[in-house]
Amino acid sequence: MKFGLMISLLCLSVSGLTVAQQKTSIFKNGFEGDETKKWALMYGAQIANENFRNGAGALVIAEGEASVRTQSQLSEQGVVDFWIKTSSPATEYTITLRVASSQNNDTNWVQVGQITGKNDTVEYYAKRISIDDPGKKYLRIDFTVTNGQLWLDDVNVQKILLGTALQKNQQKIITEVIDKLRADKDYQVQADALRTLGKNYAAQIDVQRQYLEYANGIYSSITLAMATSERGRMANPLAYETFKKVVDDVNLVSSPLQKARISSLLKPLGSIATNSLNVMTQGAFSAFAEPFKSIVAIAFEKSNFENAGINRAARKFAEKNGLVTYEKTEGFLGEIEKEVSMLAALDKDLQDIQSKLNEYRNDLSKHLQDSLIAGGLGRGQENYNRVLSKDEAVRNQALLEITNYFMLQAESYQNHSSSNTDFVQFMMKATRNMEETQVYKERFNQIASSVITYYDKFERSVAKEQNPFSEEKDKKVWEAQAQKVRGYLQESKQAFTKAYM
């Protein structure tokens, strides 16, 4: 199984200074009890006491359009997390986030984020959108839903990060400078602005490095690797008493040749004698299940066991228990198949995440290289490696060279050796690179949402109510193994949340 996600604790650096990230929630709401009073339900939405993710309530959106907004202003809105589920995989949705300083005029609402799509299943999926608005404003969520209904639950608005606030403020300053440039030619003002842009540009280079580290970090950790490995063994038939009894019964009525076939068929699963279990995959199960059922059926055929060279007691057992043993085998393997299907779904989800992650890393790596060239650091693997170095002094020196490059540009403009047109082009190219960095932040939010959803599905797959077995002794084995998995999973989930959320 291709499981794994690596969790590493990282910090965001602003202009070369490391700043610990404070992921402070400024608004949490699960649409239950008094929490419902914090929303104004404008149209198309209502509180539901069913299909909730946690607690006792959720917001249900009927097919068509709907809108809700907070009753009070929220300060410094950074990232908005929420969970959504749809009534079917065919249900499509568009969710738009807007902010405004006042609720009195609908024209004042400014769009700050949007997601569109549909869910593969009717389970809850995590979503993240960056707002990054330092103002004290109302939050409004608009919905357009087709082919079904949508439920929203567990909304969490986090405070804007300091680094993001500074960057957005500086980008605003640079935009104002460019606008002012069209009106006059104050060389001193423009040169100072270019120096400021240099510091900000170096800071966003470091932000790109951090997101590359984030992406590189989402691979495999010890805790999740152990959780997924143990989860894979929970679908191994050798772990359960019912299956061991079936194997013993079949061996009792089988010839030496048939016993050898059974042993060969079981070998890929591990050792039944030492209880050494291999991870079960969909391919391994498919290669094992039907052939094993055929062996059971043949072993208990009268023409077979009468010529198998077994004793009288074994023949009597075969005559009496053939049908019962086969039905027990078929029923038990059906229960195992549910586990295997669950594991296959988790594996597919993780492979999808890894595919998107690899594409993200490649795209961001190219964007970083282009940004380095535009920042005067030049082409070449050496400069790229310096910016990504684990040695902070090496990184800071590379970033300082970028800052100095902008200072040289400022001096050339101030000395009138650069034209007004060159100045504008240089500023526009630099600011465009910074704005494109925001796109990668949003793409990472989507990947993070997929990982959060994956954790949620994984956690539910080992919930007590998911126990697939009918025999009490098998139920106990499954639950004991599930407890170990839950422990590893919780450690991994907490580390991920702390590092990336």
Is there a domain that residue 258 lies in?
yes
**pTM of the predicted model as reported, rounded to 2 decimal places:** 0.81
Task: Answer yes or no: is 183 within a domain.
Answer: yes
Res 113 pLDDT > 70: yes
The whole-number pLDDT of residue 249 equals 95
| Domain around 303 | 240-339
pLDDT at 181 over 70: no
pLDDT, residue 172, reads 60
482-490 long-range CB contacts below 8 Å, 24 or more apart? 482/234, 484/230, 485/227, 485/230, 485/231, 485/234, 486/459, 486/462, 488/223, 488/224, 488/226, 488/227, 488/230, 489/223, 489/224, 489/227, 489/455, 489/458, 489/459, 489/462
Mean pLDDT of 384-409: 92
- Together in a domain, 248 and 193: no
Predicted confidence band of residue 82 (pLDDT cuts 50, 70, 90)? very high
Question: Which whole number is the average pLDDT over 51-55?
Answer: 92
Question: Which tops the pLDDT comparison, 116 or 221?
Answer: 116
Q: Does 233 map to a domain?
A: no
Last residue of a domain, which of 278, 307, 339? 339
Both 172 and 97 in a single domain? no
Per the domain annotation, does 17 fall within a domain?
no
Q: Are residues 491 and 396 in the same domain?
A: yes
Q: Does the structure show a pLDDT above 50 at 310?
A: yes
CA distance 22 to 482: 33
Residue 173 has a pLDDT of: 56
| Number of domains making up the chain | 3
Q: Are residues 151 and 33 in the same domain?
A: yes
Of 106, 140, 160, the domain-final residue: 160
Q: Does residue 327 form part of some domain?
A: yes
CATH number of the domain residue 102 falls in: 2.60.120.260
pLDDT in tens, 119-137: 999 999 999 998 877 788 9
Tell me which of 30-44, 99-113, 187-201, 251-265 is least confident: 187-201
Last residue of some domain: 141, 160, 179? 160
59 and 178 belong to one structural domain: no
Rounded mean pLDDT of 400-404?
A: 92
In this structure, of 33-47, 163-177, 298-312, 361-375, the range with the lowest mean pLDDT score is 163-177
